[in-house]
Amino acid sequence: MAESSPARFGILCCAEIARKVSRAIALTPNATISAIGSRTIEKATAFAKENGYPSTTKVYGSYEAVLDDPEVDVAYIPLPTSLHVKWAVLAAQKKKHVLVEKPVALNVKELDAILEECESNGVQYMDATMWMHHPRTAIMKEFLSDSQRFGQLKWVHSTYTFLGNSEFLKNDIRVKADLDGLGALGDAGWYTIRAILWATDYELPKTVTALRGPEWNEAGVILSCGASLNWKDGKVASFYCSFLTNMAMDIVVSGTKGNLRVHDFVIPFQENVAPFYTVEGSRFGELAISIQPAPSEQQVRIDLPQEAFMIKEFSNLVGNIKEKGCKPDNKWPTISRKTQLVVDAVKASIENGFEPVEVIY
């Protein structure tokens, strides 16, 4: 059987994150960088050079040119969030598969415009939430799915915080109302919300209630916030996200029989080995002077970075569509939309004075 040809990526803009994803594409056998576009040809040329792009890569002075290139299969869109809807919709119309950075849209209405266009044009959609593709994630999920070891899920907590320096807090896209109005909620909060949905098998909560005490910058962009989520069956979750606190990337999932903890879920401390911790059947020792057993560490070793696993998965889906006539996989649009719905609900709850907001797909 002939090996499928690699998915040909066109990169829409020279964002910092595009450097990481470009490296991942280069590391992934079934993907290749076909084109890069920026608002000026000079910027695109410099970026291609700095990032060691193959000499075959086409360099364009506009995003449109990338989308018009028939040798581009995939539009990777790391533009500021407020520009996603315009460029993702156009990409889909031009029959490009869409890999878009998170937060994917300013609200679910915008996201739906993207998703509808992808669906009607038969192209694959995925948001670039890289940790979803780390092999550790699937191994952790096996534990959560094991009714003997983990039992029934009762409680999830997730945190993603990092300390933005003064330059970040002044000039980063993520703190600009006109570029990424969701601030820390859309950036760090996106991951924590996805983590909660991942742990709960993507069952949407009944209600979402923001925690009191979010912080905003002068432009009204969220710099820190949290929320609690609850489900009809009694499951409860909470998260906290911030640009104002030293880095933490935690998921803690508690079941009736076991717990899972991970402290670097968004980006592993090390690229090639990722730990997580499980414990099951915890009990008090005699006289309750000890607890048995202590959690045990498991390490997942990988030979590609997690973002390369993402590119590989996306390229596989593109290959299936291009060469085997498969339909786009609906899993990724669905979980992206659910994540956006919860983001929107948290924002709505903050805006309505921390009242609960119902979440309906």
Q: What is d(CA 318, CA 98) in angstroms, rounded to the nearest whole number? A: 10
Q: How far is the CB of 54 from its own copies (least distance, A)?
A: 18
Give me the 85-124 binding string for its own copies, x by CB under 8 A, dash otherwise.
----------------------------------------
Binding residues among 4-43 for its own copies as defined by CB under 8 A: 16-17, 19-20, 23
Q: Which stretch binds its own copies (CB under 8 A): 57-65, 70-78, 138-146, 147-155?
A: 147-155
Closest approach, Cβ 42 to its own copies, in A, equals 23
Q: Are 10 and 59 in contact (CB under 8 A)?
A: no
In the chain, % helix, strand, coil (3-state, to 5) comes to 40, 25, 35
Q: Directed axis angle between helix 135-144 and helix 188-199, to 10°?
A: 40
In angstroms, what is the minimal distance from the CB of 318 to its own copies?
24
Q: 255 or 319: whose CB is closer to its own copies?
A: 255
CB of 2 vs its own copies, minimal distance in Å: 33
CB of 213 to its own copies, least distance (A): 4
- Identity of the residue, 67 or 225, whose beta carbon is nearer to its own copies in the bound complex: 225
Report the alpha-carbon distance of residue 209 to residue 237 in Å, rounded. 10
- Selected from 10, 37, 186, 305, the binder of its own copies by CB under 8 A is 305
Identity of residue 238:
S
- Helix and strand tally (H, E) in the chain? 11, 18
Residue 161 · residue 240 · CB < 8 Å:
yes
* E-only strand ranges, the chain: 7-12, 31-37, 58-60, 74-77, 97-100, 125-127, 153-163, 207-210, 215-216, 222-230, 236-242, 244-255, 258-262, 273-280, 283-284, 291-292, 296-301, 357-358
Our CA dihedral for 202, 206, 209, 210, rounded to 10 degrees, sits at: 20
For its own copies (CB under 8 A), the number of binding residues is 71
Residue whose CB is less far from its own copies, 291 or 326: 291
- The span of 6-14, 119-127, 172-180, 230-238 binding its own copies (CB under 8 A) equals 230-238
Q: 325 vs 353, which CB is nearer to its own copies?
A: 353
List the one residue from 53, 87, 191, 240 that touches its own copies (CB under 8 A). Answer: 240
Residues 150-209 that bind its own copies (CB under 8 A): 151, 154-155, 157, 159, 161-163, 207, 209
Q: How far apart are CA 60 and CA 323, in angstroms?
A: 27
Residue 228: CB minimum distance to its own copies, A = 4
Residue 286: CB partners within 8 Å, gap ≥ 6?
A: none
Which of 25, 123 has the CB closer to its own copies?
Answer: 25
* Shortest spacing between CB 285 and its own copies, in angstroms: 8
Closest to its own copies by CB, 142 vs 358, is 358
The amino acid sitting at 309 is F
Window 329 to 348, contacts with its own copies (CB under 8 A): none
Amino acid at 124: Q
| Cα 45 to Cα 53: distance, rounded to the nearest angstrom | 10
Measured from the CB of residue 252, what is the shortest distance to its own copies in angstroms? 7
Beta carbon of residue 267, minimum distance to its own copies (angstroms, whole number): 5
For residue 27, the tally of other CB atoms under 10 A from its CB is 16
> For the chain, what is the largest distance between any 2 Cα atoms, rounded to a whole number of angstroms?
72
Residue 360 as a binder of its own copies (CB under 8 A): the answer is no
Using CB under 8 A as the binding rule, the residues of this chain from 242 to 301 that contact its own copies are: 242, 244-250, 252, 254-259, 261, 263-264, 267-271, 279-284, 287-295
